[in-house]
């Protein structure tokens, strides 16, 4: 977001300093969807921070759309990716179609939530990775702060993919954590095609919480083969936007 | 059949299954055996060679399974598995892996796991078929014959003359007369088998193994002290490794406690290493698994597996250095087990569950990709789950599906994508067919479902519907 006056910029810098950020200008990863980027602080997803992603509805249990969303972000970051899981049900060909090629991903299968968080912290502290994704159910304030500090120290982006065993446990997503942003990705019916078949997936992407930013929700099309989200045609058919449908879409 | 010499007689020392079926027994005179079976293949026994190859086998087991292994001549290997089994996924999984690898090498093995060396020795030879994994072993042992007790042949013969047959007979007999008659060995072996008397395993240490050692005048127990000495040991070990141009792939730290118990700590590395800082960190991460008891007297650090490691140029002006992940992979592998850290690589198979293979985390890139013309789900169920549907045969997607008690109305669908069974793998798959559909319900959730069978011919499958994956 462009700063209207220098005073506000100075105030922002001061608040950022109070919140414990070392650098005032943080590196960000834009989504390349202007409607989404313009509403994020510094016009993109902060690199070297902890982010939270969860699925909405049944996605809170299966985490399929959230996994694609996280894979798309990880795919657009450079460097290897560590993916910590408790149950090995990720299907690598599907992730590849979200842009994350198999040779970039190292999987760690840890026994329980605590072990997953420990492995995630280990990955974030190492510094040689591009992103660390972890399927976790419970994320306490203490754990998330540790992870966030580890991510900040090394510049590796951490994505906590919140996924619960039962639908009723998903209320845990309301608890506060130290994550920089908190996203919820729910599936929507896709727009009908002129022929039989299924089109590109449609997601309702809600930014529930963002530090130094405002929450909002937006309807977008799922990741393409390079990890980019797309703007649906009926929304993109406006003068300002042009991002959707540039790539061949899958899944 | 093998022939050996006992005193002045040539006797049979080992006989294969076929020979035993023909009536040959160990201990029989060679001339008698040759009379029984005319064209007998007699080979001279080589006790020294047997011992050597047993030690080689013990070393092989030590490098792969547990830090404390010793040869148990003439025909056994004893493995102290405390603290090593969880790295292989539990006792049963470890025994399975051990047996599998021995069978692949052409060795017929029988394995038992028990609380004491004596008990394991007896169970492996008398109850294992080929694996024995029982919980309480006292009752099982007492029913075994006397030969299970590792007694000298003279004592066994003497006891059987007196009418003792099983270990239980000995246990119910007063000990003083037995000791008077047969010496202290009998009761010692009995106590060792029942766990009343300690019997430490002296670990095998072949020549040429790189090892460093510290003994302490006063036993040490504090974690900080242990960490300090680990660091010293690692520094010494790395110097020794450097002199030989080697790097460690597996390290064993053995701590002898004052009560003569040995505590072990094993770390594995994905690539040869001799960086003292990194090795120290890997070992110190696991200090809390050591139980120092009343104190540790001696610590030894061994590079159980060492591989050549030469220096190479790591940075270049032309290209950015690729990040070195071996430290991370080692730390993770020692935390959760080496099998739980992996990468996935494509396999040329159309069957979804077979199209992915696990490879080592640091394996070189395979350069292969999955064929990209069909969408694939992001989550694949561990095994396909049966669903209820209503569908037109032969090639229509269902109108609705019911999965885990929830009914989904199918709004849009794509398919079928037909996948044929891999008849070269299993005969049962010769005619098998799966027709995969991608469906989307009213809420926009997308599932990957298939029908077993082609919709016309029941030989191709049961025509039941299954759900196999969830799209994001």
CA A247 to chain CA centroid, nearest Å: 20
A125-144 exposure pattern, b = at least 16 Cβ within 10 A, e = fewer: bbebbbbbbbbbbebeeebb
**Cα torsion angle, B175, B180, B185, B186, sign:** negative
pLDDT averaged over every residue in chain B: 84
Task: Tell if the CB–CB gap between A202 and B324 is shorter than 8 Å.
Answer: no
If chain A, 251 residues long, is cut into consecutive pieces of 10 residues, what is the mean pLDDT of each piece?
72 76 70 90 90 89 91 93 92 92 92 92 92 93 94 93 88 89 93 86 92 89 89 64 42 41
Of A196, A246, A178, A188, give the one whose Cα is nearest residue A217. Answer: A188
The minimal CB distance from A202 to the residues B323, B344, B444 is found for B444
The minimal CB distance from A97 to the residues B345, B376, B380 is found for B376
CATH class label, A46-187? alpha beta
Task: Tell if the CB–CB gap between A122 and B328 is shorter than 8 Å.
Answer: yes
- Residue ranges covered by each domain of chain A: 46-187
Residues of B in contact with A80 (CB under 8 A): 323, 325
Q: Which residue of A has its CA nearest to B350?
A: A93
Whether A66 contacts chain B with CB within 8 A: yes
ipTM: 0.84
Instruction: Convert the pLDDT of each residue in A105-133 to its tens digit.
Output: 999 999 889 999 999 999 999 988 999 99
In angstroms, the CA A82 to CA A62 distance is 20
Listing DSSP states for A157-175 in one string gives: EEEEEE--SSGGGGGGGGS
- Number of Cβ within 10 Å of residue B116's Cβ equals 19
Domains in chain B and their CATH numbers?
Answer: 2-45 (3.40.1170), 48-194 (no CATH), 210-308 (3.30.1490.100), 379-471 (no CATH)
The minimal CB distance from B379 to the residues A62, A111, A129 is found for A62
CB B2 within 8 A of CB B25: no
Task: Tell if the CB–CB gap between A129 and B323 is shorter than 8 Å.
Answer: yes
Per-residue pLDDT of chain B (472 residues), as tens digits, is: 666 666 667 777 777 777 777 777 777 788 888 888 777 777 777 888 888 888 888 888 888 888 888 888 778 888 888 767 777 777 888 888 888 888 888 888 888 888 888 888 888 888 777 777 766 567 777 788 888 888 888 888 888 888 888 888 888 888 888 888 888 888 888 888 888 887 878 887 777 788 888 899 889 888 899 999 999 999 999 999 888 888 888 888 888 888 878 888 888 888 888 888 888 988 888 888 888 888 899 999 988 888 888 776 666 666 666 667 888 898 898 888 888 899 999 998 889 999 999 998 888 877 778 887 789 999 999 999 999 998 887 788 999 999 999 999 999 999 889 999 888 888 888 888 999 999 999 999 999 999 998 888 888 888 899 999 999 8
- Read off the pTM: 0.75
Q: Which residue of A has its CA nearest to B469?
A: A91
């Amino acid at each position: 977001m462009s700063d209207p006056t220098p005073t506000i910029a100075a105030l922002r810098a001061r608040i950022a300093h109070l919140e414990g950020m070392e650098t005032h200008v943080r590196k960000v990863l834009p989504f390349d969807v202007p409607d989404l980027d313009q509403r994020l602080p510094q016009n993109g997803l902060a690199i070297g921070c902890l982010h939270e992603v969860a699925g909405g509805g049944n996605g809170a249990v299966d985490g399929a759309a959230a996994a694609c969303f996280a894979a798309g972000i990880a795919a657009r970051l450079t460097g290897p990716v560590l993916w910590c899981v408790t149950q090995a049900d990720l299907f690598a060909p599907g992730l590849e179609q979200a842009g994350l090629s198999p040779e970039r991903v190292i999987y760690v299968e840890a026994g329980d939530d605590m072990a997953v968080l420990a492995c995630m912290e280990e990955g974030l502290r190492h510094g040689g990775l591009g992103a660390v994704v972890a399927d976790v159910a419970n994320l306490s304030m203490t754990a998330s702060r540790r992870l966030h500090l580890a991510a900040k120290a090394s510049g590796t982006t951490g994505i906590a993919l919140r996924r619960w065993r039962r639908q009723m446990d998903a209320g845990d997503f309301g608890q506060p954590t130290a994550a920089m942003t908190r996203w919820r990705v729910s599936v929507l019916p896709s727009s009908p095609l002129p022929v039989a078949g299924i089109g590109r997936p449609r997601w309702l992407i809600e930014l529930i919480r963002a530090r130094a930013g405002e929450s909002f929700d937006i309807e977008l099309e799922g990741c393409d083969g390079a990890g980019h989200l797309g703007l649906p045609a009926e929304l993109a058919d406006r003068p300002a936007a042009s991002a959707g449908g540039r790539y061949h879409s899958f899944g | 059949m093998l022939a050996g010499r006992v005193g002045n007689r040539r006797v049979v020392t080992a006989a294969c299954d076929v020979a035993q079926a023909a009536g040959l027994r160990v201990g029989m005179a060679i001339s008698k055996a040759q009379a029984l079976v005319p064209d007998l293949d007699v080979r001279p026994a080589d006790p020294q060679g047997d011992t050597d190859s047993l030690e080689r086998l013990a070393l092989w087991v030590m490098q792969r399974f547990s830090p404390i292994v010793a040869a148990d001549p003439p025909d056994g290997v004893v493995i102290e598995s405390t603290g090593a089994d969880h790295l292989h996924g539990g006792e049963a999984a470890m025994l399975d892996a051990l047996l599998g690898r021995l069978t692949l090498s052409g060795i017929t093995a029988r394995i038992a796991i028990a609380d004491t060396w004596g008990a394991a020795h007896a169970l492996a030879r008398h109850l294992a078929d080929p694996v024995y994994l029982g919980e309480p072993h006292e009752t099982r042992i007492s029913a075994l014959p006397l030969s299970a007790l590792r007694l000298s042949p003279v004592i066994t013969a003497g006891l059987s003359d007196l009418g003792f047959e099983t270990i239980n007979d000995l246990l119910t007999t007063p000990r003083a007369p037995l000791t008077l008659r047969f010496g202290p060995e009998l009761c010692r072996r009995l106590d060792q088998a029942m766990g009343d008397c300690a019997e430490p395993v002296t670990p095998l240490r072949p020549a040429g193994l790189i090892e460093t050692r510290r003994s302490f005048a006063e036993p040490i127990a504090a974690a900080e002290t242990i960490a300090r000495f680990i660091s010293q040991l690692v520094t010494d070990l790395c110097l020794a490794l450097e002199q030989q141009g080697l790097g460690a792939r597996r390290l064993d730290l053995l701590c002898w406690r004052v009560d003569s118990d040995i505590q072990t700590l094993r770390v594995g590395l994905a690539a040869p290493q001799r960086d003292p800082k990194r090795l120290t960190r890997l070992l110190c991460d696991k200090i809390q698994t050591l139980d120092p008891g009343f104190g540790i007297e001696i610590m030894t650090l061994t590079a159980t597996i060492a591989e050549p490691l030469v220096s190479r140029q790591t940075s270049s002006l032309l290209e950015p250095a690729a990040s070195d992940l071996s430290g991370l992979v080692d730390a993770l592998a020692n935390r959760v087990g080496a099998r739980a850290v992996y990468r996935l690589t494509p396999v040329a198979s159309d069957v979804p569950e077979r199209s992915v293979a696990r490879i080592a985390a640091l394996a070189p890139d395979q350069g292969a990709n999955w064929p990209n013309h069909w969408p694939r789900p992001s989550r694949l169920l561990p095994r396909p789950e049966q669903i209820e549907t209503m569908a037109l045969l032969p090639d229509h997607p269902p109108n609705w599906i019911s999965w885990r008690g929830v009914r989904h109305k199918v709004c849009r669908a794509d398919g079928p994508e037909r996948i044929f069974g891999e008849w070269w793998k299993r005969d049962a798959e010769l005619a098998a067919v799966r027709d995969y559909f991608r469906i989307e319900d009213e809420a926009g959730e997308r599932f990957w479902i298939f029908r077993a069978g082609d919709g016309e011919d029941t030989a191709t499958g049961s025509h039941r519907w299954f759900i196999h994956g969830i799209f994001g």
